[in-house]
Amino acid sequence: MNGEDQATVDEHDRACAPARERCVAEEAAVTIRCYSGPNLPEMLMTPMIAHLMWKWRAAYQPALAAVGTKLSSRRRAVLERASRPRMVFVVGEEALMRFEAGKPDPTTAAEQMRTLGDDAAKRHVSVLIYPLSASALPADRFVVTTAMDGRTAVFSDTPGPSGLRVVRDLEQVEAYVAAFTALRGDSLSEDASRARIAEAFPPDHAAASPGDGDRADPPPTAVGP
C-alpha cells in the first residue's frame, strides 16, 4: 500500500471512529437517552428502513453510512441484551407523519410502525412523541449514554465526514442532559405516545389497539448481531 492509499485508509478510519465509539458506549450503557429530531432513532428502525436511510446518507456522508450500515444490527440488539439499559427516546411527530402517509410504501411503513409500537411497550423503553404543537425542534440530534461507573458521553450530529461529535466535557454534557430533560417534559406522556404511534399506521394497515397502559414483558432472549 502506497502512502496515498494509506492516508485514505487512515482518513476513513478517523471518520468511522465516533460511530464505533457510540455503538460500544450503547452496548455498555445502563441508561441511554436519545433525541432524534424529526426522524426515527436509528436504534428503533427496522432493517429495511435502516437500509434506506443509510443508502440516502451515503450520498453525502459515505464513511458514516458505511460504518452505520455495519453497526445497525448491533445497535438494534442493545434493546434485547441480557442486562437491558433504561432507554428513553424523544421523537418528533414529523417522523410518524411520514409513515402515516405510507412512505416509503404502505407495507414497509406499517412494519416500521408495528415495530415501533412493540418497542414502546417494552418495560425498559420509553418512546415519547414530541408533538407539532410544541416549540420548534432543536436542530442537533444526539444520544447520551451513561455507563455503570457513572461516566456519561454525548454523541451529537455534525455535518462533518464522521457525522458525529463526541462530547465528554462535564459542562457540555450537563447542557445536553438539561436539553433532553426539557424535550422530554414537552413531549406526550408514554400512554399518549403509544396511542399516537398506533394511530400512525398507513391506510389499509390496521394497528393493534393501544392497551390500558400496562407494558408487555420484554422477551427473555437477546437478539444477536
Which of these CATH numbers, 3.30.310, 3.20.80, 2.60.40, 3.30.870, describes 18-199? Answer: 3.30.870
Confidence (pLDDT) at 223: 28
Sheet holding 86-92, edge to edge: 125-130, 86-92, 29-35, 142-147, 152-157, 164-167
The answer to whether residue 79 scores a pLDDT higher than 90 is yes
Average per-residue pLDDT for the chain = 87
Query: Grid coordinates representing 120?
Result: 414502546
122-154: pLDDT as tens digits: 999 999 999 999 988 887 899 999 999 999 999
Instruction: Find residue 146's DSSP bridge partners.
Output: 31, 152
Instruction: Find the mean pLDDT for residues 169-193.
Output: 97
Count of residues in the chain:
225
154-180: pLDDT as tens digits: 999 988 778 899 999 999 999 999 999
Band of the pLDDT at 209, cuts 50, 70, 90? very low
Confidence (pLDDT) at 14: 83
Which of 38, 13, 175, 30 is closest to 94 using CA atoms?
38
Contact at 8 Å (CB) between 210 and 192? no
More confident site: 4 or 68 = 68
Query: In which region does residue 69 sit, left (phi positive, over 0), alpha (psi from -120 to 50) or beta (all else)?
Result: alpha
Can you state the angle between helices 93-100 and 106-120, rounded to 10 degrees?
Answer: 140
